[in-house]
Structure formats: C-alpha cells, structure tokens
Amino acid sequence: MRRDLQEIKDKSIIDKILSTSEICRLGFIDNDRAYILPFNYGYQDGFIYIHCAREGKKIDLIKKNNLVCIEIEQIARIERYDKACKWATTYRSVVGYGNIGIIADYEQKRAGLDVIMKHNGANSSHDLNYEKSKVDSMSVLKVEITELTGKQSGNWNENLV
C-alpha cells in the first residue's frame, strides 16, 4: 500500500466493513482480461457467500480458474469544495483475494443462503424458509478469503457510519 497512514490495521474494523457493507465486487479472470461483477452477499468467519444463476459466464469462469479478487466499500462519498482541486472522496474499503467454489450440497447451500439473508437483515425463521425448488435452481458460491487489506481516506471520520 502506497500510503501507510491510510491502511486499516485493526482487524475489528476490517471485520466491521465486511459485516456491515451491502455490495461485494468480485473480479474474475477471463483469459487475459478482468471481469468484474457486483453482488449482494453474506459474510461469516472469513467466508463470503453469494447466490446466483446456475449457468452463465461467471460459472464458466469459476470452473476454469477459481481465483478471485474481492472489493467491498463500507462507504464512499464525494466531498465537494469551492475549488475543483480540493474535491476529495471519503471512503473505507477492503480489497483482497480468495478462492471461490460452487456449493453443491443442498444443506450447505441453505446454510450459505442463511448467511446471506442474515447479513442483509433477515431475523426470523420465516425469513429463512426457502422453497426447495428455488434452492435447487440456483448456485451458492463460497469465497474463502486468503488475503485482505483495508484502507480509508485521510479525511475519514468515524461519525460517517
């Protein structure tokens, strides 16, 4: 990281970013090009869970190469000032790498969906009641995070969250 003062070294802050943010961007390897997609997600115990269609480009790419890049921002806001060169971005984010897999077992898929749903506000057994046919018709992806760094803007203020 070029600016050491902006690095987030406190693991509890990194965990807070992972636990409270709403969108995870995954970067896949597509031959000699990057392919990036945003997802809602769930985070638990060093793993990110995502649900998606059973077929498509991302599934094909995962089968070829299971390495992914992860980007999640807790907040990002443009700070406008009277002079253009004074504008800034206030942000807090994590970037990392991991291995992604497709969960095949029905009960493990349900458990991954529970993580996603709870991460996004589900709080009752009614919210976690899935139709078997719906679970069977989707893929649940599991990213094992292998490397992660956090960064925040120099103008970060804890009152923003």
The Cα 79–Cα 16 span in angstroms is 23
What does the pLDDT average to over 7-15? 93
- Domains identified in the chain and CATH numbers: 4-153 (2.30.110.10)
Contact (CB, 8 A) for 87 and 80: yes
| Of residues 49 and 84, more confidently modeled | 49
Reading the block at residue 14, the tokens are 């990194």
pTM reported for the whole predicted model: 0.89
CA distance 133 to 158: 44
- Rounded average pLDDT over 90-107: 95
Give the C-alpha separation, 77 to 48, whole Å. 24
Q: What does the pLDDT read at residue 161?
A: 55
